[in-house]
Amino acid sequence: MIRKIVLGMALVTVVSVSMLMVATAHGEIIDLRTLVSSNTSLIHQWTFEGATDNLKKEDKKGSEDLELVGVGTAPSFITGWDSTTKSSQFFGGAAFRSPIAGFVHPEEGTVEFLYRPDNTDGDKQYIGTCAAGSNRLYYGTTFGPTPYENGLAFGNAAWGSATRRYLTGTTTPDMEVGHWYYVAVVRSRSGATINADVYLADLTEGQTQLTHTLQNASFAAYDTNFGAERLGIGSAYGGGQYFTGVMDEVAYYNSELTSTVLQDHLDAIHVPEPSAFVLLLGLGIGGLFWVLRHKRRN
């Protein structure tokens, strides 16, 4: 009788632990979203969640609800990185953009997002603006095709060394097609100069610590209305160069977030290990089995 009770307790414990771990996994992107939403400097947030397509394109914080642009296959809404939330998949021929021209970037800010590149074809932008005269601000672009060169650009149409940097901080970046990444670009502008820092983590590889891949890099900004156009997601405001891949949890802040805050956001994404209490409970039941067997043998 005692042995049946113990077996029942073990079964309940296994089921309970399994349910606990599943519940934790289901909450990871939700936890990130909660942290993002509570930040007082958040000005725009696109989560791609909602009961309808219009709600999925809604700016959850500001007023920049997205509209479709492009003539290719329209972006679709699919399961995101943690399989419990929605994300937006782009196919290289269409994107989203803010509805009204005149999007102006703040003097200092942070853009944070999750993304998964799906190919390496050509120069393609995935978050950015492009104003009259080709002055531009791209928070992400590919300088393909090989290696898969992911970068950012602040400047005009001339791709000089002063106007672009790689997200990985090197000229030979290694960002894998099909991998999910957490990216945060922290930027400030003073006159004609922009300073930027990039933080990166490969979620597919299970990286739990941010890498400060680009540190205090300087770029030339060519006019005071730099980047004052529609903001594009999946392209530079819906121009001719479209991203191919998946994006999720795009957030824009009007302040330079610290590395500590960004690390907290990354921590929220990862599923924690089972607690010490759960492990102790498992060991306790195992120990109880051993005690009963030892008594029977004696």
* Architecture field, domain 29-271: Sandwich (2.60)
pLDDT at 133: 60
pLDDT at 169: 82
Which residues contact residue 219 at a Cβ distance below 8 angstroms, ignoring those fewer than 6 apart? 153, 154, 155, 162, 163, 164, 165, 193, 194, 195, 196
Helix or strand holding residue 113 (H, E): strand 108-117
- Amino acid, res. 95: A
CB 89 within 8 A of CB 78: yes
pLDDT at 104: 81
Contacts 24+ apart (CB under 8 A), 55-59: 56/86, 56/88, 57/96
Q: Measuring CA to CA, how many Å separate 196 from each of 22, 152, 242, 260?
A: 38, 10, 24, 17
Strand-pairing partners, residue 219, are 194
DSSP string, 220-286: E--STTTT-B--EESBBTT-S-B-EEEEEEEEEESS---HHHHHHHHHHHSPPPPPHHHHHHHHHHH
What 3-state DSSP class applies to 147? coil
Before 99, cis peptide (omega within 30)? no
CA distance 155 to 158: 8
**Helices vs. strands in the chain: H and E counts, helices first:** 5, 15
Q: Tell me which residue of 144, 131, 125 sits closest to 235, measured CA to CA.
A: 125
The C-alpha angle with vertex 121 and arms to 115 and 123, in degrees rounded to 5, equals 80
Helices assigned H by DSSP within the chain: 2-26, 28-38, 53-56, 259-269, 276-297
Which pair of structure tokens corresponds to residue 170? 């090197």
Q: Tell me which residue of 81, 86, 24 sits closest to 56, measured CA to CA.
A: 86
Q: What are the two backbone dihedrals, phi and then psi, of residue 269, each rounded to the nearest 5 degrees? A: -75, -35
Q: Are strands 123-130 and 136-143 parallel, antiparallel or unpaired?
A: antiparallel
Which pair of structure tokens corresponds to residue 99? 């509805």
Domain ranges of the chain: 29-271
pLDDT in tens, the chain (298 residues): 555 544 444 444 444 444 444 333 334 899 999 999 999 999 999 999 999 999 999 999 999 999 999 989 999 999 998 888 999 999 988 999 999 888 888 889 999 999 999 887 777 888 988 765 667 788 888 876 555 678 887 766 444 444 677 888 877 667 888 999 999 999 998 877 889 999 999 999 999 999 999 999 888 765 555 556 789 999 877 667 899 999 999 999 999 999 999 999 999 998 554 444 444 444 454 443 443 444 444 4
